[in-house]
Amino acid sequence: MRYSLITLFIVVLSGCVSTKSMDILVDEKFEGPKIIAMSGTRAPWIYEIEKRLREKGFEIKRMASRNVSVEEVSPTKTEAYSEASARFVLHVDGYAPNTSMARCFGGGYRFEYINAELIDVRNNETVMHYSNSGYSENCPPLSGKIFGDISGAVSQVWK
């Protein structure tokens, strides 16, 4: 009986193992304006990430838009090219059911998966990657820190 309780306890705890993975992929931190465009499905929990980024001083653009710039190269030649309105795009992909039976009592979410990738569109490279599953903030008693982790990881890329 005693060993079966210990085994059950270990099985329950192993089900709570974190799947969090976070990588900052640049050596030097960025200077300049903290402007980020959001990309991905507009799930209701995206606002929670945006809210935390704004608290850290970021300006959030609703989508990654492009401006067309025209530049005079010589007196007889002009060049047109697309220019992004924000240098950085945060692409977020995840799945957390948004039904009354699946939401947490505190208003949080239980994620089957969530991936966030900060992309520098000027250099066409990923500068930060985050992935996890489990409970977000406001999920007592199992609350996690998913939204805070994402905003903190993005913030680590700037000086």
Residue type, 21: S
Q: Is the per-residue pLDDT at 8 higher than 50? A: no
In a domain, 119, yes or no: yes
In a domain, 134, yes or no: yes
In a domain, 11, yes or no: no
Per DSSP, 20 falls in state -
What was the pLDDT predicted at 87? Answer: 92
Chain segment 80-137, per-residue pLDDT in tens: 555 557 899 999 999 999 888 888 988 999 999 999 999 999 999 999 999 999 999 9
In a domain, 4, yes or no: no
What was the pLDDT predicted at 74? Answer: 75
Backbone angles phi, psi at 40, to 5 degrees: 125, 180
Structural domain of residue 63, as residue ranges? 17-25+34-155
Backbone angles phi, psi at 73, to 5 degrees: -85, -40
What was the pLDDT predicted at 81? Answer: 52
Domain CATH number, residue 103:
3.30.160
What was the pLDDT predicted at 84? Answer: 55
Structurally, the chain folds into a number of domains equal to 1
Residue type, 36: I
Q: Is the per-residue pLDDT at 71 higher than 70? A: no
The CA distance from 49 to 20, in Å, is: 16
What was the pLDDT predicted at 2? Answer: 56
In a domain, 126, yes or no: yes
User: Mapping DSSP to helix (H, G, I), strand (E, B) and coil, where does residue 51 land?
Assistant: helix
In a domain, 107, yes or no: yes
- Residue 62's pLDDT band, with cuts at 50, 70 and 90, is confident
Q: How high is the mean pLDDT of the chain? A: 84
Look at 47-51, 102-106, 147-151 and tell me which has the smallest mean pLDDT.
102-106
In a domain, 7, yes or no: no
Chain segment 12-37, per-residue pLDDT in tens: 444 456 689 998 998 889 998 999 99
| Cα→Cα distances 35→79, 94, 136, Å | 26, 22, 25
Q: Is the per-residue pLDDT at 5 higher than 90? A: no
In a domain, 90, yes or no: yes
Give the number of C-alpha atoms closer than 13 A to the C-alpha of residue 152, restricted to the C-beta side.
7
Could you tell me which of 148, 157, 156, 155 has the C-alpha nearest to residue 48? 148
